[in-house]
Chains A and B, each alone.
Chain A
Protein backbone atom coordinates (compact mmCIF):
# COMPACT_ATOMS: atom_id res chain seq x y z
CA UNK A 1 0.00 0.00 0.00
CA UNK A 2 1.04 3.55 -0.54
CA UNK A 3 -0.70 6.73 0.49
CA UNK A 4 -0.47 10.25 -0.84
CA UNK A 5 -0.06 11.90 2.53
CA UNK A 6 0.52 15.50 1.52
CA UNK A 7 0.29 17.83 -1.44
CA UNK A 8 1.60 21.29 -2.24
CA UNK A 9 0.96 23.65 -5.13
CA UNK A 10 2.02 27.22 -5.83
CA UNK A 11 -0.03 29.59 -7.90
CA UNK A 12 0.88 29.40 -11.61
CA UNK A 13 1.68 32.41 -13.75
CA UNK A 14 4.55 34.84 -13.18
CA UNK A 15 6.85 34.33 -10.23
CA UNK A 16 9.45 37.02 -10.98
CA UNK A 17 12.80 36.38 -9.32
CA UNK A 18 11.94 32.80 -8.29
CA UNK A 19 14.30 30.14 -9.62
CA UNK A 20 13.22 26.61 -10.46
CA UNK A 21 14.74 25.48 -7.14
CA UNK A 22 12.80 28.18 -5.29
CA UNK A 23 9.51 27.03 -6.81
CA UNK A 24 10.33 23.38 -6.11
CA UNK A 25 11.21 24.29 -2.52
CA UNK A 26 8.00 26.24 -1.96
CA UNK A 27 5.87 23.37 -3.21
CA UNK A 28 7.93 20.80 -1.29
CA UNK A 29 7.51 22.62 2.00
CA UNK A 30 3.76 22.89 1.43
CA UNK A 31 3.51 19.15 0.74
CA UNK A 32 5.63 18.13 3.73
CA UNK A 33 3.64 20.40 6.05
CA UNK A 34 0.41 19.06 4.58
CA UNK A 35 1.56 15.53 5.41
CA UNK A 36 2.32 16.63 8.97
CA UNK A 37 5.93 15.58 8.57
CA UNK A 38 9.25 17.22 9.34
CA UNK A 39 11.59 17.64 6.41
CA UNK A 40 14.11 15.30 8.07
CA UNK A 41 11.57 12.48 7.86
CA UNK A 42 11.69 12.58 4.05
CA UNK A 43 14.00 9.72 3.06
CA UNK A 44 13.33 9.63 -0.67
CA UNK A 45 13.32 12.38 -3.31
CA UNK A 46 12.14 12.14 -6.89
CA UNK A 47 12.20 15.29 -8.96
CA UNK A 48 11.54 16.23 -12.54
CA UNK A 49 13.63 18.37 -14.86
CA UNK A 50 13.84 22.09 -15.56
CA UNK A 51 14.39 23.34 -19.11
CA UNK A 52 15.47 26.70 -17.64
CA UNK A 53 18.07 25.14 -15.32
CA UNK A 54 19.07 21.78 -16.75
CA UNK A 55 21.33 19.68 -14.53
CA UNK A 56 22.56 16.10 -14.68
CA UNK A 57 21.77 15.61 -10.96
CA UNK A 58 18.79 17.81 -10.24
CA UNK A 59 17.50 15.68 -7.33
CA UNK A 60 20.65 16.16 -5.27
CA UNK A 61 20.92 19.80 -6.32
CA UNK A 62 17.40 20.21 -5.00
CA UNK A 63 18.00 18.16 -1.83
CA UNK A 64 21.03 20.25 -0.93
CA UNK A 65 19.19 23.49 -1.71
CA UNK A 66 16.16 22.41 0.29
CA UNK A 67 18.24 21.06 3.15
CA UNK A 68 17.58 17.34 3.27
CA UNK A 69 19.80 14.27 2.99
CA UNK A 70 17.65 11.53 1.50
CA UNK A 71 18.57 7.84 1.38
CA UNK A 72 17.25 7.63 -2.17
CA UNK A 73 17.16 10.40 -4.80
CA UNK A 74 17.18 10.93 -8.52
CA UNK A 75 15.46 12.83 -11.29
CA UNK A 76 12.91 11.36 -13.68
CA UNK A 77 12.24 12.55 -17.24
CA UNK A 78 9.14 11.46 -19.09
CA UNK A 79 8.00 14.82 -20.44
CA UNK A 80 4.45 15.63 -19.43
CA UNK A 81 4.03 12.18 -17.89
CA UNK A 82 6.87 12.79 -15.43
CA UNK A 83 4.68 13.68 -12.43
CA UNK A 84 2.62 10.50 -12.61
CA UNK A 85 5.66 8.40 -13.52
CA UNK A 86 7.37 9.67 -10.37
CA UNK A 87 4.25 8.92 -8.34
CA UNK A 88 4.17 5.40 -9.76
CA UNK A 89 7.82 4.89 -8.86
CA UNK A 90 7.30 6.34 -5.38
CA UNK A 91 4.36 3.98 -4.90
CA UNK A 92 6.55 1.00 -5.75
CA UNK A 93 9.48 2.27 -3.68
CA UNK A 94 7.43 2.55 -0.51
CA UNK A 95 5.62 -0.72 -1.20
CA UNK A 96 8.98 -2.43 -1.59
CA UNK A 97 10.06 -1.03 1.76
CA UNK A 98 12.99 0.90 0.36
CA UNK A 99 11.89 4.23 1.83
CA UNK A 100 9.09 5.50 4.06
CA UNK A 101 8.30 8.93 2.70
CA UNK A 102 9.09 9.95 -0.87
CA UNK A 103 8.95 13.62 -1.78
CA UNK A 104 7.90 13.99 -5.42
CA UNK A 105 8.60 17.50 -6.65
CA UNK A 106 8.56 19.54 -9.84
CA UNK A 107 8.86 23.25 -10.44
CA UNK A 108 10.16 25.65 -13.02
CA UNK A 109 10.31 29.38 -13.75
CA UNK A 110 9.60 28.56 -17.38
CA UNK A 111 7.71 31.80 -18.06
CA UNK A 112 10.00 34.44 -16.58
CA UNK A 113 13.26 32.43 -16.59
CA UNK A 114 13.58 32.34 -20.38
CA UNK A 115 11.97 33.83 -23.46
CA UNK A 116 8.84 32.25 -24.87
CA UNK A 117 10.81 31.46 -28.04
CA UNK A 118 13.42 29.68 -25.93
CA UNK A 119 10.69 27.60 -24.28
CA UNK A 120 9.12 26.70 -27.61
CA UNK A 121 12.52 25.85 -29.07
CA UNK A 122 13.57 23.74 -26.08
CA UNK A 123 10.35 21.76 -26.20
CA UNK A 124 10.47 21.26 -29.99
CA UNK A 125 13.61 19.22 -29.38
CA UNK A 126 11.40 16.27 -28.49
CA UNK A 127 11.27 15.97 -32.28
CA UNK A 128 13.78 13.87 -34.22
CA UNK A 129 17.02 15.89 -34.59
CA UNK A 130 17.66 14.80 -38.20
CA UNK A 131 14.24 14.00 -39.65
CA UNK A 132 11.86 16.42 -37.88
CA UNK A 133 13.52 19.38 -36.14
CA UNK A 134 15.09 20.77 -39.38
CA UNK A 135 11.55 21.18 -40.74
CA UNK A 136 10.77 23.81 -38.10
CA UNK A 137 7.93 22.08 -36.27
CA UNK A 138 6.84 23.24 -32.83
CA UNK A 139 5.11 21.27 -30.08
CA UNK A 140 1.77 22.73 -31.20
CA UNK A 141 2.59 21.52 -34.74
CA UNK A 142 3.21 17.96 -33.54
CA UNK A 143 -0.16 18.03 -31.81
CA UNK A 144 -1.68 19.92 -34.74
CA UNK A 145 -0.76 16.94 -36.92
CA UNK A 146 -2.43 14.59 -34.47
CA UNK A 147 -5.47 16.87 -34.31
CA UNK A 148 -5.87 16.97 -38.10
CA UNK A 149 -5.84 13.21 -38.28
CA UNK A 150 -8.12 12.72 -35.29
CA UNK A 151 -10.63 15.20 -36.68
CA UNK A 152 -10.46 13.44 -40.04
CA UNK A 153 -11.03 9.95 -38.61
CA UNK A 154 -13.67 10.76 -36.00
CA UNK A 155 -15.48 13.81 -37.39
CA UNK A 156 -14.36 16.10 -34.57
CA UNK A 157 -14.50 19.83 -35.41
CA UNK A 158 -12.51 22.86 -34.28
CA UNK A 159 -15.60 24.03 -32.42
CA UNK A 160 -15.66 20.70 -30.60
CA UNK A 161 -12.06 21.17 -29.50
CA UNK A 162 -12.80 24.73 -28.38
CA UNK A 163 -15.27 23.35 -25.83
CA UNK A 164 -12.39 21.90 -23.81
CA UNK A 165 -10.62 25.25 -23.61
CA UNK A 166 -13.85 26.90 -22.46
CA UNK A 167 -14.43 24.22 -19.82
CA UNK A 168 -10.91 24.44 -18.43
CA UNK A 169 -11.18 28.23 -18.29
CA UNK A 170 -14.51 28.02 -16.48
CA UNK A 171 -12.88 25.77 -13.90
CA UNK A 172 -9.86 28.03 -13.55
CA UNK A 173 -12.13 30.97 -12.74
CA UNK A 174 -12.99 29.21 -9.48
CA UNK A 175 -9.34 28.76 -8.42
CA UNK A 176 -7.38 31.79 -7.18
CA UNK A 177 -4.05 30.15 -8.08
CA UNK A 178 -4.85 29.79 -11.78
CA UNK A 179 -2.92 31.75 -14.40
CA UNK A 180 -6.05 32.97 -16.19
CA UNK A 181 -9.02 34.77 -14.67
CA UNK A 182 -11.03 35.90 -17.69
CA UNK A 183 -13.92 33.83 -19.03
CA UNK A 184 -13.71 32.71 -22.67
CA UNK A 185 -16.27 31.43 -25.16
CA UNK A 186 -16.09 29.02 -28.09
CA UNK A 187 -16.14 32.10 -30.35
CA UNK A 188 -13.09 33.49 -28.50
CA UNK A 189 -11.20 30.24 -29.04
CA UNK A 190 -12.17 30.17 -32.71
CA UNK A 191 -11.07 33.80 -33.15
CA UNK A 192 -7.77 33.41 -31.30
CA UNK A 193 -4.53 33.64 -33.29
CA UNK A 194 -3.62 30.60 -35.36
CA UNK A 195 -0.60 28.81 -33.88
CA UNK A 196 -0.34 25.46 -35.68
CA UNK A 197 -3.63 24.75 -37.38
CA UNK A 198 -6.07 23.39 -36.48
CA UNK A 199 -4.78 24.58 -33.10
CA UNK A 200 -5.18 28.23 -32.20
CA UNK A 201 -3.76 30.13 -29.26
CA UNK A 202 -6.59 29.23 -26.88
CA UNK A 203 -6.31 25.55 -27.85
CA UNK A 204 -2.80 25.62 -26.37
CA UNK A 205 -1.71 25.64 -22.75
CA UNK A 206 0.34 28.64 -21.67
CA UNK A 207 3.92 28.72 -20.41
CA UNK A 208 3.97 29.31 -16.65
CA UNK A 209 6.11 29.61 -13.56
CA UNK A 210 5.05 27.33 -10.74
CA UNK A 211 5.74 24.30 -8.60
CA UNK A 212 3.96 21.26 -7.24
CA UNK A 213 4.88 18.47 -4.84
CA UNK A 214 3.46 15.45 -3.05
CA UNK A 215 4.57 13.07 -0.34
CA UNK A 216 4.00 9.35 -0.95
CA UNK A 217 4.20 7.32 2.25
CA UNK A 218 3.96 3.70 3.35
CA UNK A 219 1.47 4.58 6.11
CA UNK A 220 -1.03 7.36 6.60
CA UNK A 221 0.39 10.31 8.51
CA UNK A 222 -2.90 11.93 9.41
CA UNK A 223 -6.60 11.85 8.68
CA UNK A 224 -6.12 12.18 4.90
CA UNK A 225 -6.64 8.75 3.37
CA UNK A 226 -5.79 8.70 -0.29
CA UNK A 227 -4.09 5.60 -1.55
CA UNK A 228 -2.68 4.54 -4.90
CA UNK A 229 -4.95 1.75 -6.01
CA UNK A 230 -3.05 0.81 -9.15
CA UNK A 231 -1.11 2.26 -12.05
CA UNK A 232 0.57 1.35 -15.33
CA UNK A 233 2.55 2.83 -18.21
CA UNK A 234 2.88 2.38 -21.96
CA UNK A 235 5.47 3.76 -24.36
CA UNK A 236 4.93 3.20 -28.05
CA UNK A 237 7.27 5.70 -29.75
CA UNK A 238 9.05 8.99 -29.22
CA UNK A 239 8.58 10.85 -32.49
CA UNK A 240 5.26 11.58 -34.16
CA UNK A 241 6.67 10.30 -37.46
CA UNK A 242 7.09 6.90 -35.79
CA UNK A 243 3.76 6.91 -33.93
CA UNK A 244 1.37 4.01 -34.46
CA UNK A 245 -2.18 4.44 -35.76
CA UNK A 246 -4.58 6.44 -33.59
CA UNK A 247 -6.24 3.23 -32.50
CA UNK A 248 -2.95 1.80 -31.22
CA UNK A 249 -1.68 4.62 -29.01
CA UNK A 250 -0.33 4.07 -25.51
CA UNK A 251 -3.21 5.58 -23.53
CA UNK A 252 -5.40 2.58 -24.25
CA UNK A 253 -2.63 0.19 -23.28
CA UNK A 254 -1.81 2.03 -20.06
CA UNK A 255 -5.43 2.28 -18.93
CA UNK A 256 -6.07 -1.39 -19.68
CA UNK A 257 -3.12 -2.43 -17.53
CA UNK A 258 -3.97 0.08 -14.79
CA UNK A 259 -7.55 -1.18 -14.59
CA UNK A 260 -6.18 -4.67 -14.14
CA UNK A 261 -3.65 -3.58 -11.52
CA UNK A 262 -6.27 -1.61 -9.60
CA UNK A 263 -9.16 -4.00 -10.05
CA UNK A 264 -11.51 -1.17 -11.01
CA UNK A 265 -13.59 -0.32 -14.04
CA UNK A 266 -14.16 3.06 -15.67
CA UNK A 267 -17.71 2.91 -14.31
CA UNK A 268 -16.22 3.05 -10.78
CA UNK A 269 -14.45 6.35 -11.46
CA UNK A 270 -15.97 9.48 -9.89
CA UNK A 271 -13.32 12.12 -10.69
CA UNK A 272 -10.96 12.48 -13.65
CA UNK A 273 -7.62 14.28 -13.92
CA UNK A 274 -6.43 14.08 -17.51
CA UNK A 275 -3.45 15.66 -19.25
CA UNK A 276 -4.54 18.63 -21.35
CA UNK A 277 -1.55 20.28 -23.00
CA UNK A 278 -3.81 21.09 -25.93
CA UNK A 279 -7.54 20.77 -26.44
CA UNK A 280 -6.92 17.84 -28.79
CA UNK A 281 -4.85 16.07 -26.13
CA UNK A 282 -7.73 16.20 -23.69
CA UNK A 283 -10.36 15.22 -26.27
CA UNK A 284 -8.35 12.23 -27.46
CA UNK A 285 -7.28 11.02 -24.04
CA UNK A 286 -10.83 11.15 -22.65
CA UNK A 287 -11.92 8.95 -25.54
CA UNK A 288 -8.86 6.67 -25.36
CA UNK A 289 -9.44 6.18 -21.63
CA UNK A 290 -13.09 5.30 -22.13
CA UNK A 291 -14.44 8.41 -20.37
CA UNK A 292 -16.33 9.21 -23.58
CA UNK A 293 -17.15 7.37 -26.79
CA UNK A 294 -15.15 8.07 -29.96
CA UNK A 295 -15.86 11.58 -31.16
CA UNK A 296 -18.30 12.13 -28.28
CA UNK A 297 -16.19 13.89 -25.66
CA UNK A 298 -17.15 17.40 -26.82
CA UNK A 299 -20.84 16.58 -26.60
CA UNK A 300 -20.24 15.45 -23.03
CA UNK A 301 -18.56 18.78 -22.27
CA UNK A 302 -21.57 20.63 -23.68
CA UNK A 303 -23.96 18.59 -21.56
CA UNK A 304 -22.07 19.43 -18.37
CA UNK A 305 -20.79 15.88 -17.84
CA UNK A 306 -17.25 17.03 -17.00
CA UNK A 307 -18.22 20.05 -14.89
CA UNK A 308 -17.95 20.33 -11.11
CA UNK A 309 -21.55 19.17 -10.68
CA UNK A 310 -21.48 16.70 -13.58
CA UNK A 311 -21.19 12.93 -13.48
CA UNK A 312 -17.42 13.01 -14.12
CA UNK A 313 -15.83 16.21 -12.82
CA UNK A 314 -12.60 16.83 -14.76
CA UNK A 315 -9.56 18.96 -13.88
CA UNK A 316 -11.56 21.21 -11.57
CA UNK A 317 -8.53 23.48 -11.03
CA UNK A 318 -8.48 24.44 -14.72
CA UNK A 319 -5.87 22.01 -16.04
CA UNK A 320 -2.79 22.88 -18.05
CA UNK A 321 -4.97 24.89 -20.41
CA UNK A 322 -6.01 27.45 -17.79
CA UNK A 323 -4.39 26.77 -14.40
CA UNK A 324 -1.16 26.75 -16.37
CA UNK A 325 1.81 24.64 -17.41
CA UNK A 326 5.20 25.07 -15.74
CA UNK A 327 6.66 21.84 -17.11
CA UNK A 328 6.80 18.88 -14.74
CA UNK A 329 4.81 20.70 -12.05
CA UNK A 330 2.05 21.45 -14.55
CA UNK A 331 0.48 18.02 -14.66
CA UNK A 332 1.30 17.47 -10.99
CA UNK A 333 -1.29 20.15 -10.25
CA UNK A 334 -3.88 17.67 -11.52
CA UNK A 335 -2.93 15.26 -8.74
CA UNK A 336 -2.86 18.01 -6.11
CA UNK A 337 -6.39 19.02 -7.11
CA UNK A 338 -7.50 15.38 -7.08
CA UNK A 339 -6.12 15.01 -3.55
CA UNK A 340 -7.96 18.13 -2.37
CA UNK A 341 -11.16 16.76 -3.89
CA UNK A 342 -10.66 13.34 -2.30
CA UNK A 343 -10.02 14.87 1.11
CA UNK A 344 -12.93 17.30 0.95
CA UNK A 345 -10.69 20.37 0.88
CA UNK A 346 -11.50 21.82 -2.54
CA UNK A 347 -13.66 24.63 -1.14
CA UNK A 348 -15.92 26.20 -3.75
CA UNK A 349 -14.66 23.64 -6.27
CA UNK A 350 -15.58 20.64 -4.13
CA UNK A 351 -17.32 17.85 -6.00
CA UNK A 352 -19.92 15.60 -4.42
CA UNK A 353 -18.00 12.35 -4.72
CA UNK A 354 -14.34 11.79 -5.57
CA UNK A 355 -14.05 8.36 -3.99
CA UNK A 356 -12.20 6.87 -6.94
CA UNK A 357 -10.17 9.04 -9.27
CA UNK A 358 -8.51 8.30 -12.59
CA UNK A 359 -5.39 10.25 -13.47
CA UNK A 360 -3.62 10.14 -16.81
CA UNK A 361 -0.43 11.76 -18.04
CA UNK A 362 1.06 11.97 -21.52
CA UNK A 363 4.65 12.78 -22.43
CA UNK A 364 6.20 13.67 -25.78
CA UNK A 365 3.70 13.48 -28.62
CA UNK A 366 1.35 10.90 -27.10
CA UNK A 367 4.57 8.92 -26.69
CA UNK A 368 4.60 8.03 -23.00
CA UNK A 369 1.53 7.33 -20.92
CA UNK A 370 0.86 6.76 -17.23
CA UNK A 371 -2.60 5.85 -15.94
CA UNK A 372 -3.30 5.78 -12.22
CA UNK A 373 -6.26 5.12 -9.96
CA UNK A 374 -6.44 6.76 -6.55
CA UNK A 375 -8.87 5.63 -3.88
CA UNK A 376 -10.32 7.42 -0.90
CA UNK A 377 -9.83 5.42 2.31
CA UNK A 378 -11.97 6.33 5.27
Chain B
Protein backbone atom coordinates (compact mmCIF):
# COMPACT_ATOMS: atom_id res chain seq x y z
CA UNK B 1 0.00 0.00 0.00
CA UNK B 2 1.31 3.46 -0.78
CA UNK B 3 -1.74 5.60 -0.08
CA UNK B 4 -0.89 9.04 1.22
CA UNK B 5 -0.85 9.18 5.01
CA UNK B 6 -3.27 11.33 6.97
CA UNK B 7 -0.82 13.90 8.22
CA UNK B 8 0.18 17.53 7.70
CA UNK B 9 1.21 16.83 4.11
CA UNK B 10 -2.44 16.02 3.37
CA UNK B 11 -3.93 18.73 5.60
CA UNK B 12 -4.33 16.88 8.94
CA UNK B 13 -2.88 18.12 12.24
CA UNK B 14 -0.47 15.24 12.63
CA UNK B 15 3.11 14.16 12.03
CA UNK B 16 3.21 10.57 10.87
CA UNK B 17 6.17 8.26 10.39
CA UNK B 18 6.59 4.58 9.57
CA UNK B 19 8.17 1.71 11.47
CA UNK B 20 9.21 -1.57 9.89
CA UNK B 21 7.66 -4.64 11.55
CA UNK B 22 10.46 -6.82 10.17
CA UNK B 23 13.63 -4.90 11.04
CA UNK B 24 12.45 -2.10 13.30
CA UNK B 25 13.84 0.72 11.14
CA UNK B 26 12.02 4.08 11.16
CA UNK B 27 11.41 6.33 8.19
CA UNK B 28 9.73 9.72 7.80
CA UNK B 29 9.19 9.99 4.03
CA UNK B 30 6.21 7.75 3.35
CA UNK B 31 6.78 4.67 1.21
CA UNK B 32 5.13 1.28 0.65
CA UNK B 33 8.31 -0.51 1.76
CA UNK B 34 11.06 -0.23 4.34
CA UNK B 35 14.17 1.51 2.96
CA UNK B 36 16.40 -0.44 5.33
CA UNK B 37 15.31 -4.00 4.52
CA UNK B 38 12.75 -3.73 1.72
CA UNK B 39 9.94 -5.37 3.69
CA UNK B 40 6.48 -4.31 2.52
CA UNK B 41 3.94 -2.16 4.32
CA UNK B 42 5.79 -0.52 7.20
CA UNK B 43 3.41 0.41 10.02
CA UNK B 44 2.21 4.00 10.16
CA UNK B 45 2.59 5.68 13.53
CA UNK B 46 1.58 9.07 14.81
CA UNK B 47 4.45 11.02 16.31
CA UNK B 48 4.14 12.71 19.72
CA UNK B 49 5.27 16.04 18.24
CA UNK B 50 8.16 16.45 20.64
CA UNK B 51 11.81 16.59 19.71
CA UNK B 52 15.12 18.41 19.70
CA UNK B 53 16.26 21.12 17.28
CA UNK B 54 19.02 19.80 14.97
CA UNK B 55 19.46 22.83 12.69
CA UNK B 56 17.80 26.15 11.87
CA UNK B 57 17.73 28.69 9.06
CA UNK B 58 15.72 31.91 9.23
CA UNK B 59 14.43 32.56 5.71
CA UNK B 60 14.44 36.29 4.97
CA UNK B 61 14.22 36.10 1.19
CA UNK B 62 11.40 33.97 -0.22
CA UNK B 63 10.69 33.10 -3.83
CA UNK B 64 6.90 33.31 -4.18
CA UNK B 65 4.30 35.95 -3.25
CA UNK B 66 2.60 33.40 -0.96
CA UNK B 67 5.73 32.61 1.04
CA UNK B 68 7.03 36.20 0.91
CA UNK B 69 4.03 37.25 3.01
CA UNK B 70 5.46 35.17 5.87
CA UNK B 71 9.12 36.31 5.97
CA UNK B 72 11.03 35.98 8.12
CA UNK B 73 10.15 32.36 8.89
CA UNK B 74 12.37 29.83 10.54
CA UNK B 75 12.98 26.52 8.74
CA UNK B 76 14.09 23.92 11.27
CA UNK B 77 15.24 20.32 11.24
CA UNK B 78 13.96 18.55 14.34
CA UNK B 79 15.01 15.17 15.66
CA UNK B 80 11.70 13.74 16.81
CA UNK B 81 11.65 11.91 20.15
CA UNK B 82 10.69 8.74 18.27
CA UNK B 83 14.00 8.78 16.38
CA UNK B 84 13.39 10.27 12.93
CA UNK B 85 14.22 13.73 11.54
CA UNK B 86 11.76 16.13 9.95
CA UNK B 87 11.75 19.60 8.44
CA UNK B 88 9.27 22.08 9.87
CA UNK B 89 8.81 25.68 10.92
CA UNK B 90 9.62 27.00 14.36
CA UNK B 91 9.98 30.05 16.57
CA UNK B 92 12.46 32.50 15.12
CA UNK B 93 14.68 32.35 18.22
CA UNK B 94 15.08 28.58 18.45
CA UNK B 95 18.59 27.29 19.05
CA UNK B 96 20.18 23.96 18.22
CA UNK B 97 19.58 21.55 21.09
CA UNK B 98 16.34 23.18 22.24
CA UNK B 99 13.61 20.75 23.33
CA UNK B 100 10.53 21.57 21.28
CA UNK B 101 6.86 20.65 20.82
CA UNK B 102 4.85 20.89 17.60
CA UNK B 103 1.64 22.66 16.81
CA UNK B 104 0.23 23.33 13.36
CA UNK B 105 -0.03 26.69 11.64
CA UNK B 106 -1.23 27.90 8.25
CA UNK B 107 1.55 28.75 5.79
CA UNK B 108 1.12 29.72 2.16
CA UNK B 109 -2.27 28.04 1.92
CA UNK B 110 -1.15 24.86 3.71
CA UNK B 111 -0.98 23.55 7.24
CA UNK B 112 2.60 23.02 8.44
CA UNK B 113 4.18 21.73 11.66
CA UNK B 114 5.53 24.55 13.84
CA UNK B 115 7.81 23.89 16.80
CA UNK B 116 7.93 25.94 20.00
CA UNK B 117 10.38 25.63 22.86
CA UNK B 118 9.01 23.40 25.63
CA UNK B 119 8.06 25.22 28.83
Which A residues are within 8 Å of any B CB, using their own CB? 117, 120-121, 124, 128, 130-132, 134-138, 140-149, 152, 193-199, 239-242
Central interface residue in A135, A145, A152, A193, by most chain B CB within 10 Å: A135
Q: Are B67 and A146 in contact (CB under 8 A)?
A: no
Report the minimal beta-carbon distance from A366 to chain B, rounded to whole angstroms: 12
B54–chain A nearest beta-carbon distance, Å? 7
Interface residue tally for chain B (C-beta within 8 Å): 34
Q: Are A136 and B60 in contact (CB under 8 A)?
A: no
Taking the nearest CB of chain A, how far is it from the CB of B61, in angstroms?
Answer: 5
Complex contact B63–A146 (CB within 8 A)? no
Q: Is the CB of B55 within 8 A of A148?
A: yes
With contacts defined as CB atoms under 8 Å apart, how many contacts are there between chain A and chain B in the complex?
109
Could you show 27 A-B contacts with beta carbons less than 8 Å apart?
A117-B64, A128-B87, A130-B9, A130-B29, A132-B87, A134-B9, A134-B107, A135-B89, A136-B64, A136-B66, A137-B87, A138-B59, A141-B57, A141-B59, A141-B75, A142-B57, A143-B57, A144-B56, A145-B55, A148-B56, A148-B96, A196-B59, A241-B28, A241-B29, A241-B77, A241-B86, A242-B28
Most chain B CB neighbours (cut-off 10 Å) among A131, A193, A240: A131
B contacts, CB < 8 Å to A: 9, 28-30, 54-64, 66-67, 70, 72-73, 75-77, 85-89, 96-97, 107-108, 110, 112
Complex Cα–Cα for A193 and B72 (A): 12
Taking CB atoms, residues of chain A closer than 8 Å to B87 are 128, 131-132, 135, 137, 240-241
Chain B residues near A121 (CB-CB < 8 A)? 63-64
User: A193 — which chain B residues lie within 8 A by C-beta?
Assistant: 60-61
Query: In the complex, what residues of A have CB within 8 A of residue B62's CB?
Result: 136, 138
A134 proximity list for chain B (CB < 8 A): 9, 107-108, 110, 112
On chain B, the residues within 8 Å of A198 by CB distance are: 57
Q: With a CB–CB cut-off of 8 A, which chain B residues contact A148?
A: 55-57, 96
Q: B108 and A136: CB pair below 8 A?
A: yes
**Which residues on B sit within 8 Å (CB–CB) of A147?**
57
Residues of chain A within 8 A (CB-CB) of B67 are 136
Residue of A nearest to B58 (CB): A197
Chain A residues with CB below 8 A from B28, complex form: 131, 241-242
Query: Of B61, B96, B107, which contacts A135 at CB under 8 A?
Result: B107
Q: Which residues of B contact A120 (CB under 8 A)?
A: 63
Task: Give complex CA distance A142, B87 in Å.
Answer: 10
A130 to B56, CA, bound (A): 19
Q: Determine whether the beta carbon of B55 is less than 8 Å from that of A137.
A: no
With a cutoff of 8 Å between Cβ atoms, the chain B residues found around residue A143 in the complex are 57
In the A-B complex, list the 5 residue pairs whose CB atoms are closest, starting with the nearest.
Answer: A144-B57, A136-B67, A120-B63, A194-B60, A197-B58
Residues of B within 8 A of A197 (CB): 57-58, 60
